[in-house]
Amino acid sequence: MNGTIDFGTIADGAPAGAELLILGATGCLGGALVDAALQAGHRVVAVGRDADALAALQARHPGAGDALATLQAGIARDADAAELVARLRMRGRPLAGVIAAIRGAPVRARLLDQPEDFLRQRLDEDLLPHLFAARRLLPLLAERPGAGYVLIGGPGADQPWAGYGHHSIVAAALRMLARVLHDEARTVGVRVHLLGVDAPMRTDDNAQHACPGWPQVGAVARRALSLLDRDTAPRDAVVRYAATPAPPALRPDVLRSDDIDASDQRATTAPPMPVGDRDRDAARRLLRDIAAAPRTRTDNTLLP
């Protein structure tokens, strides 16, 4: 066991020459998705808006050859997504799956202080492109039954993210969109999932101030790729990254986690302490004493 995720049968179940489409490939997460997909042996079509960033991505994989193709395209409008699908059809190769890692630039702001079109702009940049892409790409994927479509959502969907409440609104809406797409796409034989990442991702750029619990961007990419596996795909529309179980083949004396940047961390677990009758009696007496003690007022707690 080397700590990596088994990518399963996506490649085996796809037709010869099938390509994995990655939307938002020039972002930090998108680049990690391209890295993981190529390492797993997939042919990749990387889509992004910035031609220079796409060229840099291609240069980062000089040995990929024709296993990595890039397309400069945007999906800010439904017409853009339709044009992208037309260009993909011209390539003449089937899709093995789609992973969408797209969002606008993060902006820190107090929502109540922003102008009336601020939230609408966030929805236009962070949510609607997912709808446009899915609307146009799902019919293309439906030509190969069992294909998968994975969206990746950021933190704040369950609780407001301080200073980024607008992102919390978009993240929650994206999860609901994924659930709707999950239900509707099943009728055409396509599996849709959203990988919910409940914390910022740790990258090379933010490693100096990243919190210990932030998941590595490469680990998130590998988890997203694993959701395309037809044999192990979950039934739920939304899959929480933080709830990813450890691989079953892992030895109990070695911990490897997608959330921890470590190649080999050993955990020592103390044996459970035996609890005897005397210990139980002592605990009961302590609880009775606490319950019988008079309650007082403190500066921090008001008691009746």
Residue 220's region, left for phi above 0, alpha for psi from -120 to 50, else beta, is alpha
Tell me how far apart the alpha carbons of residues 64 and 275 are, in angstroms, rounded to a whole number.
60
Domains annotated for the chain, with CATH where assigned, are: 10-255 (3.40.50.720)
Predicted pLDDT at 247: 45
Whose tokens are 């709830």? That residue is: 243
At 256 the pLDDT is 33
37 — alpha (psi -120 to 50), left (phi > 0) or beta? alpha
Please give the pLDDT value at position 282: 66
DSSP 30: H
Q: Helices then strands (H, E): number in the chain?
A: 9, 9
What DSSP character marks residue 158?
Answer: S
Separation between Cα atoms, residue 163 and residue 141, nearest integer Å: 38
pTM: 0.75
Token pair recorded at residue 211: 């919190």
How far apart CA 294 and CA 65 sit, in angstroms, is 77
- What does the pLDDT profile of the chain (304 residues) look like in tens digits? 333 333 344 544 556 678 999 999 999 999 999 999 999 999 999 999 999 999 999 999 999 999 999 999 999 999 999 999 999 999 999 999 999 999 877 789 999 999 999 999 999 999 999 999 999 999 999 998 789 999 999 998 998 888 999 999 999 999 999 999 999 999 999 999 999 999 889 998 888 889 988 999 999 999 999 999 988 888 899 999 964 444 443 333 333 333 323 333 333 344 444 545 566 666 666 667 666 665 544 333 333 3
237 sits in which H/E element = none
What's the N-to-C CA distance of the chain in angstroms?
58
Q: What phi and psi, each to the nearest 5 degrees, are found at residue 191?
A: -95, 125
What tokens were used for 186? 């099943």
Structure tokens at 182: 């999950």
Report which secondary-structure segment, H or E, holds 241.
Answer: none
Neighbouring CB atoms inside 10 A of 161's CB total 18
Residue 265 is inside which H or E element, if any? Answer: strand 265-266
